[in-house]
Amino acid sequence: MCGIFSYKGSKHSWDSLAGDINLMSYRGPENTHHEMAGDDVLFAFHRLAIMGTTEKGDQPMKHPQDDSLTLVCNGEIYNYKKLADKYGFSLITGSDCEIILYMFKQFGIEKTVEELDGVFMFVIHDSKTGKLFAGRDPMGVRPGFIGRDGNEIMIASEAKPLVKHCSEILPFKPGTWWCSDDSEIFNQYFHYNGVSIREKTEEDICNKIQILLKEAVKKRLMAEREIGCLLSGGLDSSLITSLVAKYYQGPKLNTFSIGLPGSVDLEYAQRVADYLGTAHHQVEVSEAEFLDAIETVIYNIESYDTTTVRASVGNYLVSKFITENSNCKVIFNGDGADEVCCGYVYLRNAPTQKALQKESERLVEEIHYFDVLRSDRSISSNGLEARTPFLDKAFVKYYLSIPAELKTFDGVNRLEKYLLRNAFAGQGLLPDDVLWRRKCAFSDGVSSQKNSWHRIIQSFVDQKISDEEFQRESAKLNHCTPQLKESYYYRKVFTNFFGNNEQLIPHFWMPQWTDVDVLDPSARELKDYQE
């Protein structure tokens, strides 16, 4: 995990930018480096060393045989050894990111991003041409933002360093590459579906799902630092933890769960940990600790989306605990499964199979605005690296290509994520009641059902925001107009940190196809939700 920054222009120097660049130093707490990569190009890098942990792996990194090429990259390239063997490259730094320089020099930017298997946001400067090139991974697991001020351009892992210096800031579009000689164009290299799958039966499809997810986990075990897992006790994190436990060759696996008093997730997580034999840590925190963390979380994730903020608080607090109480630096989680595998409760109401397929694709295409934030940003803000096997490129592409009729569910005879559950049935990886545990709303899992997390927040916000302020001020907000006091409160905090950069999210995350006027994104508010 790292924080990267690049600047092409003439207005600013390191001295004038350093303070803002250091706002994201928590992404790479071990060291910071910067250098001029050209007459008008500045690179900076905050490092958390996971691979190639010696100073040879420091960045900005130059090509060993061509110092005209300079790289900064926040990422993990899981197939770097395979690419080196395939093309006869002799890597010397131990860093997986080094392969990007070799690929770029040999093939150019487009083939480079197409062949990389990993999660990344990188920028390359070619001093021979004076151009910057950049690319982001297909699902946007690693963050990236591009900011402009006239002809001046900044690219960074987070928006924080750009706010004071750029008149326009936008997320760098996932699955695209970019070149500074045509800075308005993002060239798409990855498409989320369109694969013609060979498997014809449900059994064969489930076998393929199993193979791909196992491979997604195994390739992500690449690390020179200790690995741990977030374990909520739900299907997604439990399944990932069980696979990590199966294939991890390091010291005894540490698992971590968090919840408020009475949390059902804590109970299930302990059961899974006992079943797998992990060194488990339960982090029980008070309502006050959860509430006190909200503003910090909004600052870290750079979002005011209601459900994203709610879900990120727990990840932030448990990651803080991990940093303070363990040696783990690489943290697996189960994020992305709901988007990829049709896990959201509202999807059962899709009017047609075509609509279900389209909605699943939309959820994946937009995940970098929402669920990925709690995965990367909440965890990285505590100097840790998150790994998300469910957002593996091959796994996502295959699952989205499965015929929609096989992904439908009724929530009774066929549960959400049925194919995923069935793919691992009968293998003894998890207790059956965990493998087939019905999805519960996040707010219900992390808290007592008698006093759900989103209700706790809403009571808290009622004391901070008057009805008059909400009605007066929310009406002035044309983009993502808040419909709840809670949403307005998050927006108010966000604006205090980031000014009028509300365009960092396109809209609020909300369920579709509800037959009532639902204003709250929690599944708990849906008519047919079952606790």
Active site residues: 2
Report residue 29 CA to chain centroid gap. Answer: 19
Q: For residues 23 and 51, what is the distance between their CA atoms, to the nearest angstrom?
A: 24
Report residue 490 CA to chain centroid gap. Answer: 20
Phi, psi of 100 (to 5 degrees): -60, -40
Number of residues that this document lists for the chain: 531
Q: For residues 18 and 457, what is the distance between their CA atoms, to the nearest angstrom?
A: 36
Q: For residues 23 and 5, what is the distance between their CA atoms, to the nearest angstrom?
A: 11
Contact 438, 421 (CB under 8 A): no
Please report the DSSP string for 448-493 in residue order: -GGG-HHHHHHHHHHHHS-HHHHHHHHTT--TT--SSHHHHHHHHH
| Total Cβ atoms within 10 A of residue 381 | 23
In the numeric block, the tokens 């130093």 are attached to: 25
User: 212: closest CA among 66, 423, 36?
Assistant: 423
Provide the residue type at 173 as one letter: K
395 Rama class: left (phi>0) / alpha (psi -120 to 50) / beta: alpha
Phi, psi of 490 (to 5 degrees): -60, -40
Contact 423, 213 (CB under 8 A): yes
Q: How do beta strands 66-77 and 61-63 pair?
A: antiparallel
Radius of gyration, alpha carbons of the chain:
22
Q: Helix 453-464 to helix 485-498 angle, to the nearest 10 degrees?
A: 70
User: 335: closest CA among 50, 139, 513?
Assistant: 139
Q: For residues 424 and 439, what is the distance between their CA atoms, to the nearest angstrom?
A: 17
Q: For residues 429 and 35, what is the distance between their CA atoms, to the nearest angstrom?
A: 49
